Structure 1
Amino acid sequence: MIFKSLCRHAGIGANSYVLKTKTAQVVLDAGMHPKHEGSEAIPHYEFLDGRTVDSIIITHSHLDHVGTLPVFLQGQPQAKVFMSPETAELATAMLHNSVNVMQAKRIEHGIAEYPLFEHRELDEIEDSFETRAIERPFDLDPEGVFRGTFHDAGHILGSVGVTIECEDKKVFYTGDVNFEHSTLQKGALFPEGKVDALIVETTRGEQARDPKYDRKNEENEFAEAIKNVIGRKGSVLIPVFAMGKTQEVLGMIHRFKAEGLIPKKTPVYIGGLSTKMTQVYDRFSTTSRRHLPNFRFLKDMELEAGSKKRKGPIPFHPGCIYALSSGMMSEKTVSNNFARQGVLENAKHGLFFVGYADPETPGGKIREAKQGDSIVLDPAYPPVTLNCETRIFDFSGHSTREAILNYILKVAPKQCFLVHGDDGAVAWFKQEITRRLPNTKVIIPEPGVDYVI
């Protein structure tokens, strides 16, 4: 069996890999790189050498794992697409939104290649979707050369890691994983038996968590910060990713109100894609493995969520919570507009980060800034002065490096492929695995190179 990375760039981005034998071929994920545009954002599908692919596994619905699935299927229309039922719905919504974003970029930035696919194509490729439940083995090709089993990855709704068995070899691909319980998402449940090869994410390899960190305490500090802003007649802007982080934050706010940590009548606004994603979360409230079973955000919380009650732009009022995308506050998004049009310059307000923001994005620049600094949130508009309160809270959907290393030690792979991490993150894992598991071969896969398993 051969493993090959189809990634176009090192680090986190257009995630895609292939496992192949002489008679069968399976691809893992079909990501789009968030920092690149056009063809530079697409994995090296040409590395498949024109061979027919039997199937592709999508581990979850973030764009860096599913964003170029339609492009992949343009060249491999016969391939079956295996994913969880939750991922199928979330990915469809994400890809339709991606078409809209690409169409806008074509006009604004003159990217002639965009959109890479159309809404019509997305409707057609759904015929290729094969949804599978967790812990239920299934064939990945017609001859049964490859067998797959999904396991809950704890990252977002529907996220999975996958065991792949072939030729008496066992390979495990983590996808994106979180072993810790979150507000809504329960921690990953991965098999702990020995494997021949482990393909493992290394996202947080450069970050050592404070040993005093406690999730409940972090949430309560978040609640206290919100209460203080509301108390001084300000509003709280929480930049969130529409899928995953929005629903985690809503789960926290629900608890805060129920326990009297923030005023029960505080209006909460979400909107746009966040509302669509929350509708999907609600549809799986009784069947997915999660905390708050049967709880439906749009029915059981009083949200200002783009329903018939409210049409038009989201209004900005004092004393409210705004959980708005994008999480990195990219230009032309609702969170960026709110920050630029009133939040950033007013000392009464609070801007609270609950997830990762790339240093090059507007959100990343705010996180690094000091009070009184002038910040360019959108080059089309004048800079804005940072006067509001800013806080950063650790509610990452990715496991700590220590938790992932502990898992690696349990499964003691013969080979360990380090993926989905920047250079420093990968280097930390390589050093620790080499020290702790001297019999494990640690590989940082080069795109296009065949590695024998």
Structure 2
Amino acid sequence: MPVNASLTFIGAAQQVTGSCYLLQLNQQQFLLDCGMVQGADQVREWHKFRFPFKPKEIDAVVLSHAHIDHSGLLPLLVAKGFKGKIYCTPGTAELLPVLLKDSVNLYLKDLEWQNKKAARAGKKIQEPVMAVKDAERVSELVQTLSYNKRGFPLPGVELEFADAGHILGSAIVQLWLKGKQAMRKLVFSGDLGNPATVLLPAATEIPQADIVLMESTYGNRDHQPLANTIEEFATALSEAYDAGGNVFIPAFALGRSQEILYYLALLYRQGRLKQRLVFLDSPMAISITKIYDDYLHRLDQVDLDRIGYKKGMTLEQLLPMLKLSESIEDSMAINRVTHGAIIIAGSGMCNGGRIVHHLKHNLWKNTNHLIFVGFQARGTLGRRLVDGEKRVKMFGQDIVVKARVHTIGGFSAHAGQAELLQWAKAIAGEPAFYLVHGEPEAQLVLQQKLAEIGITAQIPVKGEVLRF
């Protein structure tokens, strides 16, 4: 029997970013995730964006994890009138204020710069669509729920989080939706972790479901073995040192930056790190690293033992050459270092942040090396560089690309194809599968692979409505 519910695919439908799904049950409306689409001019994207629902009428948000492509629209949702509760894990609750304030501040700075440019040209300036206070208000609305505990966000809705193993606090969302005469279990994978990811466990297997929304970012391929990835990383670092230049690593402040620091600490402990300067050039990544430091003793002990961790130690202590670049002046000073340094900076897809300033000053030097350690979405500068563009425009200038570009996919915190298939196969009950959070090519391959193990999966389009 149906439960008279509907689910609308608002974002991350045939694309990787912008995770957002609207659930309606018993005259109630709530969201699974509320994430930004990443890639283009963020000011333009913010100003043209319109929610396909009335934020004031949303009763709650259930958040899988803190990454901006899953949480970044929350300040705008609040600015437009949302006053309900936001349900997430304690780890996500600690990370959210750091990410959302940084995101809003970046938007406001970009808007200020664009308005100055418009004013000089005699054009109309734009008013901000949100403020820092809206990001702060998000934290006031958060209601935490630990893994494997049952919560009741709305009448007829039961919620339980399971560990997704993707980043600190990441969760698989399990929802039991009760109508007048029936109940359905909906599972939203969020982002499923790569079992090889250091410090975190493998994604939890779910015993049963009726409907599954499953991510498909790497649905068309597996990651190379971790040992190969580490060797490739070590080789790239060594080649950069021998070439007489620096290494630039665009990395997301949350998750990827901490993983890279871990691997650098591992290479240092093994005596294989030639560079004697490592800069973490991101105030947000620095703040998040300090949160990770507080959680280190609860994370994977085998991984910690490999880098000589003792209780109470921090990642900074485990990598003595690490320098934390908090201020703009600290960041600018890095450009005076011409050899033997590793610079980790955001954003991970080079669509903003301090990394773009470093690239402007360094892409044209053939002694430098650029190492991509994460997925690059279409439309981003990172994707264009990965695809081999030899000339890019930055800050109104044409920059020739002479730095050597490396792509190391094995560091991904997303499950590869084999892990996705294993996770899906473990779910009993013959659920209806819907592939989300992936590009069409990856989804089509995963759809075929699922069919080969007896699972039929649909690939929804943006705006599609599922009734059940």
TM-score by length of structure 1 reads 0.87
- Partner Cα separation in structure 2 for residue 86 and residue 228 of structure 1: 37
Find the partner of 1:198 among 212, 218, 241: 212
Aligned match of 1:15 = 19
Instruction: Deviation per CA, 1:398-448: give whole Å up to 9, x if none.
Output: 11122212221221542112211222222223333344326x4x3333444
Instruction: Deviation per CA, 1:177-198: give whole Å up to 9, x if none.
Output: 124121333322232x121111
- Partner Cα separation in structure 1 for residue 461 and residue 236 of structure 2: 45
| Residue 136 of structure 2 corresponds to residue 123 of structure 1 | yes
Aligned match of 1:45 = 53
Aligned match of 1:5 = 8
Opposite residue 245 of structure 1, the aligned amino acid is R
> Does the CA-based 8 Å contact 1:197-1:414 persist in structure 2?
yes
Secondary structure (helix, strand or coil) at the match of 2:296 reads coil
Find the partner of 2:434 among 417, 440, 444: 417
Change (3 A) 1:28 1:383: same
- Partner Cα separation in structure 1 for residue 405 and residue 465 of structure 2: 47
Change (3 A) 1:78 1:261: same
Aligned match of 1:301 = 319
Between 270-279 and 358-367, report the one with greater CA deviation: 358-367
> Does the CA-based 8 Å contact 1:340-1:377 persist in structure 2?
no
Opposite residue 383 of structure 2, the aligned amino acid is G
- Partner Cα separation in structure 2 for residue 228 and residue 423 of structure 1: 36
Aligned match of 1:329 = 350
Superposition pairs of residues 293-442 of structure 1, within 5 angstroms: 294=311, 295-302=313-320, 303-306=322-325, 311=330, 313-316=332-335, 317=337, 318-330=339-351, 333-342=353-362, 344-369=363-388, 373=390, 375-386=391-402, 388-394=403-409, 395-412=411-428, 413-437=430-454, 440=456, 442=457
Following superposition, the deviation at residue 249 of structure 1 comes to 0.5
Secondary structure (helix, strand or coil) at the match of 1:172 reads strand
Instruction: Deviation per CA, 1:17-48: give whole Å up to 9, x if none.
Output: 133321544321001111450255455234x8
Between 289-298 and 394-403, report the one with greater CA deviation: 289-298
Change (3 A) 1:45 1:190: farther
> Does the CA-based 8 Å contact 1:25-1:54 persist in structure 2?
yes
- Partner Cα separation in structure 1 for residue 439 and residue 68 of structure 2: 18
Aligned match of 2:118 = none
Following superposition, the deviation at residue 311 of structure 1 comes to 4.3
Between 286-295 and 72-81, report the one with greater CA deviation: 286-295
Change (3 A) 1:217 1:169: same
- Partner Cα separation in structure 1 for residue 346 and residue 91 of structure 2: 21
Secondary structure (helix, strand or coil) at the match of 1:122 reads helix
Could you tell me the percent identity over the aligned residues? Answer: 23
Superposition pairs of residues 286-297 of structure 1, within 5 angstroms: 286-287=297-298, 291-292=303-304, 294=311, 295-297=313-315
Secondary structure (helix, strand or coil) at the match of 1:330 reads coil
Find the partner of 2:110 among 105, 110, 113: 105
TM-score by length of structure 2 reads 0.84
Superposition pairs of residues 136-155 of structure 1, within 5 angstroms: 136-141=149-154, 143=155, 145-155=156-166
- Partner Cα separation in structure 1 for residue 177 and residue 300 of structure 2: 28
> Does the CA-based 8 Å contact 2:248-2:371 persist in structure 1?
yes
- Partner Cα separation in structure 1 for residue 355 and residue 238 of structure 2: 20
Instruction: Deviation per CA, 1:89-117: give whole Å up to 9, x if none.
Output: 22211111111222133234459666432
Secondary structure (helix, strand or coil) at the match of 1:276 reads helix
Secondary structure (helix, strand or coil) at the match of 1:315 reads helix
Following superposition, the deviation at residue 170 of structure 1 comes to 1.6
Secondary structure (helix, strand or coil) at the match of 1:150 reads strand
| Residue 75 of structure 2 corresponds to residue 70 of structure 1 | yes
Change (3 A) 1:125 1:182: closer
Secondary structure (helix, strand or coil) at the match of 1:7 reads strand
- Partner Cα separation in structure 2 for residue 401 and residue 325 of structure 1: 27
Instruction: Deviation per CA, 1:239-290: give whole Å up to 9, x if none.
Output: 1111111111000000000011213x61110123221221222232234567
- Partner Cα separation in structure 2 for residue 410 and residue 132 of structure 1: 25
- Partner Cα separation in structure 2 for residue 122 and residue 414 of structure 1: 37
Instruction: Deviation per CA, 1:54-106: give whole Å up to 9, x if none.
Output: 42111111111101112333456441111112211222111111112221332
| Residue 90 of structure 2 corresponds to residue 82 of structure 1 | no
Following superposition, the deviation at residue 377 of structure 1 comes to 4.2
Opposite residue 285 of structure 1, the aligned amino acid is L
- Partner Cα separation in structure 2 for residue 448 and residue 365 of structure 1: 28
Change (3 A) 1:77 1:232: closer
- Partner Cα separation in structure 2 for residue 113 and residue 15 of structure 1: 27
- Partner Cα separation in structure 1 for residue 59 and residue 230 of structure 2: 45
Opposite residue 260 of structure 1, the aligned amino acid is G
- Partner Cα separation in structure 2 for residue 39 and residue 421 of structure 1: 25
> Does the CA-based 8 Å contact 1:38-1:113 persist in structure 2?
no
CA RMSD of aligned residues (A): 2.7
The gaps in structure 2 that reach 5 residues or longer are 116-123
- Partner Cα separation in structure 2 for residue 138 and residue 109 of structure 1: 44
The gaps in structure 1 that reach 5 residues or longer are none
Count of residues paired in the alignment: 434
Secondary structure (helix, strand or coil) at the match of 1:376 reads strand
> Does the CA-based 8 Å contact 1:102-1:114 persist in structure 2?
no
Secondary structure (helix, strand or coil) at the match of 1:382 reads strand
Instruction: Deviation per CA, 1:199-230: give whole Å up to 9, x if none.
Output: 1111122x3237xx211121122112212322
Change (3 A) 1:189 1:91: same
Higher fraction of helix: 2
- Partner Cα separation in structure 2 for residue 404 and residue 445 of structure 1: 18
Aligned match of 2:120 = none
Instruction: Deviation per CA, 1:293-347: give whole Å up to 9, x if none.
Output: 7552234432110369x8463423211111111222235x3222222213x3333
- Partner Cα separation in structure 2 for residue 426 and residue 311 of structure 1: 43
Superposition pairs of residues 110-259 of structure 1, within 5 angstroms: 115-141=128-154, 143=155, 145-167=156-178, 168-191=183-206, 193-205=207-219, 207-209=220-222, 213-259=224-270
Secondary structure (helix, strand or coil) at the match of 1:33 reads coil
